[in-house]
Amino acid sequence: MGMIEQLEQPKTRIQLLAESNRSKIGQGIRKPRFRKPKNWTVQNRILMSLLITEDVKLSELAELVGVAPRTVAAWIYEGVYPTEEHRAFIAHRFGLPQTVLFYPDSEWGRLEGEESGRFYKRALLGAKKNRILSGLFAVHGISPADFSRKRGVSPGTTRKYMHAGAMPDPAYRAIFCEYFGLPEEILFHEAGERAGAGDPKDVAGGKG
């Protein structure tokens, strides 16, 4: 067989595969480190609210507690219940009782994609005496101003409850608690603690 005939012979399937893969040699297999879920849904909204308002990353909490970051992610996104030792440590770190921080929240999925407003990080600037309420707006990506306007609450009043930590009057507590699906002893726990300590500045009505 002559040289010209050899060059004109059709390439075999193996040769074609070898040529197609030649450019990929040395590049390795591109595979994500962890499988990416379709939706990240926060199931422990209380703990996540505290992490956001205290500006603590999941990896930082993991390091403080002494567990793997994926363990903290399971607490937040899968609703996994930490051990007693870990619950006690986290409760002490954030200054909240375990019954509040790990409240069995069955309404975590109720606000998924409900609001068209956008949460801006500047809403968390300054003091945040009601860390749970403040953080919940961020957890759900809800603009406090849009929330207020749609529910007939002055934006200034909502900010007062978030930043000054004032305890709203019953009518306003009902608006917030019904919307977020949490009882007032959880949503306004910190305001209730301060009001119980006898500081009249921590009890406020609805006028902002």
pLDDT score, position 118: 54
Report the CATH number of the 40-105 domain. Answer: 1.10.260.40
The domains of the chain are located at: 40-105, 115-203
Q: pLDDT > 70: what percent of the chain?
A: 65
For residue range 160-194, what is the model confidence (pLDDT) as tens digits?
A: 898 888 899 999 999 999 999 999 999 999 998 87
More confident position, 117 or 193: 193
Separation of alpha carbons 208 and 156, rounded Å: 5
Q: Three-class SS string for 81-109?
A: CCCHHHHHHHHHHHCCCHHHHCCCCCCCC
The CATH superfamily holding the domain 115-203 is lambda repressor-like DNA-binding domains (1.10.260.40)
Q: Which of 36-45, 46-55, 85-94, 163-172 has the lowest mean pLDDT?
A: 36-45
pLDDT score, position 5: 53
What is the pTM assigned to this prediction?
0.71
Evaluate whether 40-105 and 115-203 have a shared fold.
yes
